Structures are given as structure tokens and as C-alpha cells.
Amino acid sequence: MTGLGLRGRLTVLYGTLFLVAGAAILGLLYLVVQDRLEAELGSEAADDRLALVRQEAAASGRDTVTLPDGSAVPVEEIAAQIQQGREDIKDAALDSLLVQGSLVVLAVGLAAGATGWVVAGRGLRPLHAITRTAERIANARGPERDLSERLALTGPRDDIRRLADSFDAMLTSLDAAFDAQRRFVANASHELRTPLALERTLIELEITKPAVPGETAHLGRTLLELNEKSSALVDRLLVLADSANPVEHPVRVDLADLAGAAVAAVTGAQQHGIEIRTDLRPAPATGDPVLLEQLVRNLVENALVHNVDGGWAAVSTDTEGDATVVCVSNTGPRVLPHEVDGLFEPFRRHRADRTQSVQAGVARTGFGLGLAIVKAVTDAHHGTLRAVARPEGGLEVRATLPGPADAGVA
């Protein structure tokens, strides 16, 4: 029964209980009827009739009895026939009771099983609704995940109704928590942009003054670098917050163009001996061009930033059926297979050597948001993301997005 669902197990349980109960009743009835037949067939009246036949034969001085057809039959044979007749009657009655009773019990058990299937289905209907809703929310990604959906189960306030109400309350709490988190990230990022811009302006004004001391100028340049890193973090947080929203006005773009621009924008890779390999075939897709550009740029920068001297990074775009694929692989520090999924979570880094890099002309501290943004943008465009750790070190990341036909954009 391990392969049966709850409804099937309940049906088997109902049918089995009725069969066991019917078999027990049939067994008791068999014993009662057997005892009654033995009592009736072995009664004093039946024995008296047999004794009367024997007395009549003894009175006539013969040990035989004349039958209506004139034939003479021994008295003891008559007695044996009477006794055998009793046994035959009893056996026939008990056999008939056992066979017909078993058929009735089987029919009632099957009917009980069918009734149990219907009753269990009606009773489990609210649980199926809860399961479908939970699966739909769990399997949805990014903006597809609708936590505003509710069961709103009606009917008597029984255990299932309480479970459904508790599930709705949990969804309400989760929806409020996620909304508050997204609003906080977006609002905090927007609010931080203004003081960071003002801070950058004041620093630039200070270090460009005539006859500014060298130490002050050096301190100012250091502060500008820190300001640039803070601005980059704020921008990435904004992108991460925006990518959690559905794409309202998708347009057609070519991922090959975006990948080419991302590779061209990255300078200084050769000074560390990193070879950039490209295989950019037409890869039309639809979506938010800004977010898709960020997706491709993050993949390329991640492959170059987290690399090794003398390594390589390969960028390719292509179509697979109705889907569009951008694939970026690279050499780099070795990543264990169980560590790959964690790299796509916000503020998660592989090792300390992944927190800072000056390779590929991208001199900045890593925030652990690059691949998280890639995943969020992919989910927002109803795509899939697959990453594999290369045995020699580095990653291979494939982002598969729906093609123009799937998105309904010509």
C-alpha cells in the first residue's frame, strides 16, 4: 500500500474492515445455524420416529420393513438412511449458507470500498486544494509566485477547515514579509543614492582645489573608491529588487549583441593573461532589455573576475528549439558541486578569494549579488538557470530563456 495515495489507502481500509466484519458475522451465523440444525435433526422427536419403526418391525417378528411398493428393507438400513439424510440436510444447509453468505459479504465489501472511495474523495477535496495551492506556489519562480492566493474554504469549522484557515494565515504572513522586504530594499537603495551622490560631489570638489595637500588628495581618491563601491552595491540592490517584478512591456533583443557589448566593455582582461573566447550566434529573446543586459554582463564579469592568471572565459549564445541560450564558462577556483546552488543566493560567496578581484579591469569588491541578480532576472523572464562546477575549476552557467514565439512578440 506504500504506492497508494491517501484516498486509495482509505478505500482499501474501508473495504477491508467491511470484509473482516462480514466474515466474522458469517462465521458466527455458521456456528449458530450448525448448532440449530444439529439440535433439530438430533431431537427426541426424530429419535422417537426411528424407535417406532423398530418397534413395529419387532412386533411383526421381522427385521425388515415393507415399503409401499411391496419391497422389504432391513430396519437398520432404514435407520442408516435416515441418519444419512440428516447429515445431508445439515451439510447442504451449511454449504449453502457459507457460499451464498460469502458472496453477499464480498458484494457488500466491494460496495463498501466503492462508497469509501467516493466518501474519501469528498472528504479529502479540501486537502487536495491545499496541496495544489502549495505546489503551485512552491513551483513558481520569481514574479510568478503569487502569495496573495487564498483557499477561503467554507463549511463547518472542522479540522480540515482549521488547517485551511491556518494555511491562509501563513500565506498572508509570507506575502506581507516578502512585500516588506522588497519595499525596504528598493526604498533603502533609492534613499542611499542621494547622499552617495552628494558625498561624491563634495569629495571631487575638495580634491580638485588648487594647492590641495598630497595626503588630502590621496585620502580623497580612497574615499572616491569607497563611494564607487557603495554606489555599485546600491545599484545592484535596485536591480535585484526590480527583477522580482514581472516584465510588463517585453521587447525583442538579441543576446548575442548584449554579450558582445558586455565583452567589449570589459577591459584589461589580457593584462592578466585571461583569454576571452566568443561564439556569438543570433539568439533572439524578449524581455526587459535593461535586465537582460544586466544578466549577460553579470555572467561575463563573474567569469572574468573569479578567474586565474593565464585562464580563459568562453561566452556563447545560440538557440535551442524555441528557446534562447547564453552560456558562460571559465577557469577559476575549484567549486565543489554542493556549493554551486549557494552561489546564486544574495550575499553568498564561495570563498574569501572570491570577495575581491582586480582582474578583467573590474577593480571592485564582490558583494555576492552578481549571480543572485542573474537568477532573479532569469526567473522574471520565465527562464531556467543551470550551473555546473568544472572539475578543473571554475563554472559553466547556462541561462535558457523563452524565444520570441513563446513570449508572443514578433
pLDDT at res. 45? 53
| Cell output for 60 | 411383526
- Per-residue confidence band for 315, with pLDDT thresholds at 50, 70 and 90: very high
What pLDDT, in 10s, does the model give residues 318-328? 999 889 999 99
Measured in whole angstroms, the distance separating CA 233 from the mean position of its chain's CA atoms is 34
| Cell output for 36 | 440449530
Nearest to 395 by CA among 334, 352, 350, 347: 334
What pLDDT, in 10s, does the model give residues 226-269? 888 788 777 767 776 666 666 767 889 999 999 998 888 876 54
Q: Is residue 394 over pLDDT 80? A: yes
Q: Return the higher-pLDDT residue of 85 and 44.
A: 85
Q: Give the start-end residues of each E strand in 198-322.
A: 251-254, 275-280, 284-287, 312-320
Mean of the per-residue pLDDT values of the chain = 78
pLDDT at res. 358? 39
Percentage of the residues of the chain whose pLDDT score is greater than 70 = 76
What pLDDT, in 10s, does the model give residues 337-378? 888 888 888 766 655 444 344 344 443 445 667 888 888 888
Are the C-beta atoms of residues 174 and 168 closer than 8 Å to each other? no
pTM (2 decimals)? 0.53
Nearest to 268 by CA among 304, 243, 235: 304
- Other Cβ atoms less than 10 A from the Cβ of 85: the count is 11
Q: Is residue 159 over pLDDT 70? A: yes
Q: What is the mean pLDDT of residues 39-49?
A: 60
CA-CA distance, 349 to 224, in Å (whole number)? 25
